[in-house]
Amino acid sequence: MIQVNHVVKSFDGFKALDGLDMHVKGGSIYGLVGPNGAGKSTIIRHITGIYRPDSGSVVVDGVSVYENPQIKSRIAWIPDELYYFVSASTRDMMKFYRGIYPQFDDKRYQALREAFPAVDEKAPIRRLSKGMQKQSAFWLALCCNPDILVLDEPVDGLDPVMRRQVWSLLMNDVSQRGTTVLVSSHNLRELEDVCDHVGILSHGKVLLERSLSELQDNILKMQVVFQETEMPKMPEEMNVLHVTKVGRIHTLIIRGNMEEIKAQIATYNPILMEALPLSLEEIFIYELGGEDYAVRDIVL
Amino acid sequence: MRFGTSFFNGTLYQKTVMRFWPVWALYFIFWLMVLPMRFLSEAMRRSQWDSNANLTAYLQQQAQDIPSMLRGLLVLSAIMGILCAMAVFSYLYSHRSACMIHALPMRRETIFGSQYLAGLSFFMVPHIIIYVLMLATEVSMNCLNLWSLTLWFLVQSGTCFFFYSFGVFCAMFTGHLLALPIFYGILNWLVLTVFGLLQEVCRIYLYGFAGFGTLMDEAVLWLTPFMKLVMAVDTTYVEDLNQMRLFDAKVVVVYVVVGVLMTVAALLLYRGRHIESAGDVVSVKIVRPIFKYGFALCAGLSGGMMTKAILYLESDMVFMLWMVIWGIVGYFVAEMFLQKSFRVLKAWKGSIAVIAAIVLFSVSIYQDWYGFEQWVPNQEQVESVRMSGLRGAPWDSGSNGDIVRSDVQGIGQALALHDAIVNHNTTGVGHQNDGWMTIIYSMKDGRTIQRSYDGISMYEADLTTEGTIAYAAQAILDDRENVLQLYDMEEVEEGRLVECYINSIWNEETKNTETLYIDGGTQQLWDAVQQDFAEGTLGVRYLFNGSQERQDNTYYADLTFIYEVSSINASTGEDESYQMDWSITLTPQATHTLTALNELGVLNEPYKLLTNAEYNMLDF
């Protein structure tokens, strides 16, 4: 549904996006993860038609998003830093969006009041707490009945109950209406629960882009105890991303097929060998380790 | 919802109008108080003591005078223009608001059109309402002056429209809200200021420089909209039509057209605008170097001039050095604005270009690479010439006027003198006289070229040497056609002679000079003066005041005529006649005038005319 083709964007000589390619399937929840400054917000602003790429293209259903009201009317965006007109209340903004978005649903607005009972719809949004403002943003965005919902750090500031409430509403839209959700977040544990596809960004490029299950199948954690104290040299073709040792237990992060890796390690006759799945957070950390982005042991 | 190229979105328009209600509300209240409420208040106040007829006449006068407030309130148009532009395009200057607006399903044209129209409504709607209210007020008070009211409406709307469009145009170049009014103010006056600075620099470096010419002056004025408009919207009363008229209505029309063009240009700029430029002082990439180097050069010029004025700099080289220093300062300040950082020294390479530009500019002018100082036109290029400053002695009315010549002989005289001045043709011997002179050529191609020279050194010994300054200058003063213009006797002829007196006449009894009023005979004396003048015995000009010829052939006394010039005030129709005086130094050769003075008994004992030589010989 969303296709980002080799997008380049520079700011004062700094390449924020460096030939980024990305593909989001319709009806999926796509998690965009990456370190700070990787270009997540920048690509989101391209997908929402705000920024014009220096080169490359951003298309939705085969049509360019930039300066395309028809496509943009199908997209709702909740930015990481919300903006509302000075002294505008949720109701004021509802009236504004109602006049702008053709699919805006008044009934939904009334119905969603129950989902966000803490939001005073007559109070100026800027006077609300950060969490309340986020709730107001979700309320308004969902009423636009978007085909594509773009969320930048969406649940930041929401309490656990409201997070669950919001995700529940989103999942419901995805299942009922086939809404495509593109979500950028640093909360990987949360993304792991909701996303079916993930793209990892680094230095303005997508490092890898897979379904979550594919991602988890393609990288695994092996805990091994060998006959010898020291770990024998692994074969060249085995893509070992990371190795740690606690006592005699060696923990290896390896990219590849689980069965093949197991068979290869088995040739060393280990005393103990166990394959464990990786969390999204671990995948993120180990994938980016190869990009010179890893947790460093710094002695202060 | 239609998604084609639409220039308007009602929701966005409505939201913008409602968000910025204080701007248009305050503007509306201002005009409400200045026009309809003031009329009503005046009517109520005056009705307490004035008759109905007088009250109506007063209100009719007030209604007629409405356009006269246009000039004074032009500054309001300028302020309102930029306020409206700042309000409606304020979303461009914050990253969050810019992203929010541009994420909406609208094309740039739609956003621009809606916002632009909202800003336009901020002043147009109040104008229309005030116009209607005022119309009703004037009709109800029997003082309707449709012409004046409509003139006010059109001109106030026109000037506001121009300044607003100008503000919108400026808004497209910046990403910073505070930078917008600064750019707007600077661009309103930039051309005039830079032009003035360049002229000052040229005046310092170039001998004879008086300006870039009238065509350039006119262009500069057009490019300084506030100045041009403030002159154009001045009003005068035309008695024949019984109407108020603008000094130059065409100017307002031209600026309205310019406003339309600026709006189109602003839209084109907006279409190409990078939203990420929110917060930048200059948001258009190609304008950034123009801003940087333009700022540096302006800082160099203005800083150099300021330093020269404060430190009384006399050396041209030191002045250039200060321009370079200020230019470098300006360059780094501009860089700070662009980079939003004080750490800009790494961009030092650009400052070399600034230094080179200022040095090149200064040296090229100082060395007169363009041949300005040596330029003297060919006779066939000149339509006419005006000479000011070359007057010589004595110090009577002949020492005030200008000489204008369009004949071959007159132009030739001016060119000969100009040529001698630019070549500094003097021997440097004998009695010296320092003079000044301005020569204005009206060229056949329509240009006006002016040169002003001061400190022209003329030497008495040069009077007989052809090609010298003194020789050429005296030749001009010897030409009776020139002398006639210097004395400008026609003006006296056009007026009415009132009286005459002789001043600085010697009294043998008191041993002092006196002023002697002459009873009757004013016309007789005037006729005699004219006769002597025609014969060349009066009004002889001497280049050197101290020359023996001047001392021996002119009396110490002057004959002064008082005459009245009639003048009618165009606005009020009242007679505002005033009196002027005209004087001429008497000479021993002016037989007709001396005879008339004798006949009138002026020169009877104890009064006596002394030549300057005789007067200077007196022992006080």
The Cα diameter of chain A in Å comes to 72
Both A175 and A282 in one domain: the answer is no
Both B495 and B471 in one domain: the answer is no
- Mean pLDDT (chain B, rounded): 92
What pLDDT, on the 0 to 100 scale, is given for residue A290? 59
Both B519 and B467 in one domain: the answer is no
Residue B123 lies in a domain: yes
Average pLDDT (B68-83) is 96
Residue A26 lies in a domain: yes
CB contact under 8 A, B15 and A96: yes
Contact call for residues A58 and A66 (beta carbons, < 8 A): yes
Residue B212 lies in a domain: no
Please identify, among B366, B389, B424, the residue that sits at the C-terminal boundary of a domain.
Answer: B366
Both B264 and B296 in one domain: the answer is no
Both B340 and B464 in one domain: the answer is no
Both B36 and B116 in one domain: the answer is yes
Cα separation values, B488 from B412, B421, B494, B583, Å? 22, 26, 11, 11
What pLDDT, on the 0 to 100 scale, is given for residue B211? 84
User: Which among A69, A86, A96 is the nearest to B11, CB-wise?
Assistant: A96
Residue A209 lies in a domain: no
Q: How confident is the model at residue B550 (pLDDT cuts 50, 70, 90)?
A: very high
Q: How confident is the model at residue B28 (pLDDT cuts 50, 70, 90)?
A: very high
Q: Which residue has the tokens 């004021």?
A: A92
Both B407 and B357 in one domain: the answer is no
- Mean pLDDT (chain A, rounded): 89
What pLDDT, on the 0 to 100 scale, is given for residue A205? 92
Distance between CA B371 and CA B148 in Å, rounded?
A: 53
Q: Where are the beta strands (DSSP E) in B467-543?
A: 496-507, 512-518
ipTM: 0.88
Q: Is the pLDDT of residue A180 over 80?
A: yes
Q: Which residue has the tokens 């003329």?
A: B458
Both A90 and A15 in one domain: the answer is yes
Q: Is the pLDDT of residue B294 over 60?
A: yes
Both B477 and B544 in one domain: the answer is no
pTM above 0.90, yes or no: no
Both A31 and A141 in one domain: the answer is yes
Residue A295 lies in a domain: no
- For residue B112, give its domain range: 10-184+241-277
What pLDDT, on the 0 to 100 scale, is given for residue B29? 97
Residues in chain A within 8 Å Cβ distance of B15? 85, 96
Q: How confident is the model at residue B5 (pLDDT cuts 50, 70, 90)?
A: low
Touching check for A130 and chain B: CB below 8 Å?
no
Touching check for A103 and chain B: CB below 8 Å?
no
Residue B203 lies in a domain: no
User: Which among A50, A67, A84 is the nearest to B103, CB-wise?
Assistant: A50
Q: Is residue A202 exposed (0-12), middle (13-18) or buried (19+ Cβ within 10 Å)?
A: buried
Distance between CA A46 and CA A9 in Å, rounded?
A: 9
Q: CB pairs under 8 A, 24+ apart, for B471-474?
A: B471/B420, B472/B413, B472/B416, B472/B417, B472/B419, B472/B420, B473/B390, B473/B392, B473/B417, B473/B435, B473/B543, B474/B543
Both A108 and A183 in one domain: the answer is yes
Both A281 and A162 in one domain: the answer is no
What pLDDT, on the 0 to 100 scale, is given for residue B242? 81
Please identify, among A203, A233, A260, the residue that sits at the C-terminal boundary of a domain.
Answer: A203
| The most confident of B306-310, B392-396, B568-572, by mean pLDDT | B306-310
Mutate to test the interface with A, among B6, B17, B97, B104 (most CBs of A within 10 A): B104
Average pLDDT (A218-237) is 86
pLDDT digits (tens, 9 = 90+) for B107-157: 999 999 999 999 999 999 999 999 999 999 999 999 999 999 999 999 999
3-state secondary structure of B545: coil
Contact call for residues A125 and A86 (beta carbons, < 8 A): no
What pLDDT, on the 0 to 100 scale, is given for residue A97? 96
Average pLDDT (B476-502) is 92
Pairing label, strands B558-565, A180-184: unpaired
Q: Where are the beta strands (DSSP E) in B299-399?
A: 382-388
Average pLDDT (A85-104) is 94
Q: How confident is the model at residue A295 (pLDDT cuts 50, 70, 90)?
A: low
Touching check for B567 and chain A: CB below 8 Å?
no
Both B465 and B502 in one domain: the answer is no
Q: What total of structural domains would you count in chain A?
A: 2
User: Which among A48, A85, A86 is the nearest to B103, CB-wise?
Assistant: A48
The residue type found at A23 is H
What pLDDT, on the 0 to 100 scale, is given for residue A192? 83
Distance between CA A178 and CA A176 in Å, rounded?
A: 6
Q: Is the pLDDT of residue B526 over 70?
A: yes
Q: Is the pLDDT of residue B567 over 90?
A: no
Residue B234 lies in a domain: no
Please identify, among A203, A232, A250, the residue that sits at the C-terminal boundary of a domain.
Answer: A203
CATH number assigned to the domain comprising residue A253: 3.30.70
**Tell me, what DSSP letter sits at residue A124?**
B
Distance between CA A132 and CA B300 in Å, rounded?
A: 54
Q: A36 versus B5: which is more confidently predicted?
A: A36
CATH number assigned to the domain comprising residue A166: 3.40.50.300
Residue B362 lies in a domain: yes
Both A74 and A14 in one domain: the answer is yes
Please identify, among B302, B331, B366, the residue that sits at the C-terminal boundary of a domain.
Answer: B366
Residue A107 lies in a domain: yes
Q: Is the pLDDT of residue A6 over 90?
A: yes
Mutate to test the interface with B, among A54, A67, A149 (most CBs of B within 10 A): A67
Q: Is the pLDDT of residue A272 over 60?
A: yes
Residues in chain A within 8 Å Cβ distance of B103? 48-50, 72, 75, 77
Average pLDDT (B534-538) is 94
What pLDDT, on the 0 to 100 scale, is given for residue B546? 86
Both A59 and A133 in one domain: the answer is yes
Both B508 and B554 in one domain: the answer is yes
Please identify, among B420, B451, B486, the residue that sits at the C-terminal boundary of a domain.
Answer: B486
Give the rounded distance of the alpha carbon of A86 from its chain centre: 30
Both A186 and A54 in one domain: the answer is yes
Residue A299 lies in a domain: no
CB contact under 8 A, A96 and B97: no
Q: Is the pLDDT of residue A215 over 80?
A: no
Omega before B394 within 30 of 0, i.e. cis:
yes
**Tell me, what DSSP letter sits at residue B606?**
T
Both A78 and A37 in one domain: the answer is yes
Both B98 and B52 in one domain: the answer is yes
Touching check for B3 and chain A: CB below 8 Å?
yes
Q: What total of structural domains would you count in chain B?
A: 4
Mutate to test the interface with B, among A72, A75, A150 (most CBs of B within 10 A): A72
What pLDDT, on the 0 to 100 scale, is given for residue A300? 57
The residue type found at B141 is M
CB contact under 8 A, A96 and B99: no
Distance between CA A34 and CA A31 in Å, rounded?
A: 10
Residue A179 lies in a domain: yes
Q: Is the pLDDT of residue B428 over 80?
A: no
pLDDT digits (tens, 9 = 90+) for B163-214: 999 999 999 999 999 999 999 999 999 999 999 999 988 988 888 888 887 7
Cβ-based contacts under 8 A for chains A and B:
67
Q: How confident is the model at residue A193 (pLDDT cuts 50, 70, 90)?
A: confident
Q: Is the pLDDT of residue B380 over 60?
A: yes
Both B393 and B475 in one domain: the answer is yes
Residue A81 lies in a domain: yes
Both B146 and B75 in one domain: the answer is yes
What pLDDT, on the 0 to 100 scale, is given for residue B81? 97
Please identify, among A203, A225, A240, the residue that sits at the C-terminal boundary of a domain.
Answer: A203
Q: Is the pLDDT of residue B1 over 60?
A: no
pLDDT digits (tens, 9 = 90+) for A140-177: 999 999 999 999 988 888 898 999 899 999 999 999 99
What crossing angle do the helices spanning B316-339 and B349-366 adopt, rounded to 10°?
150
Both A7 and A44 in one domain: the answer is yes
Residue B114 lies in a domain: yes
- For residue A191, give its domain range: 2-203
* Residues across chain B: 620
Question: Would you state the structure tokens that stand for residue B147, as one six-digit string?
Answer: 């012409």
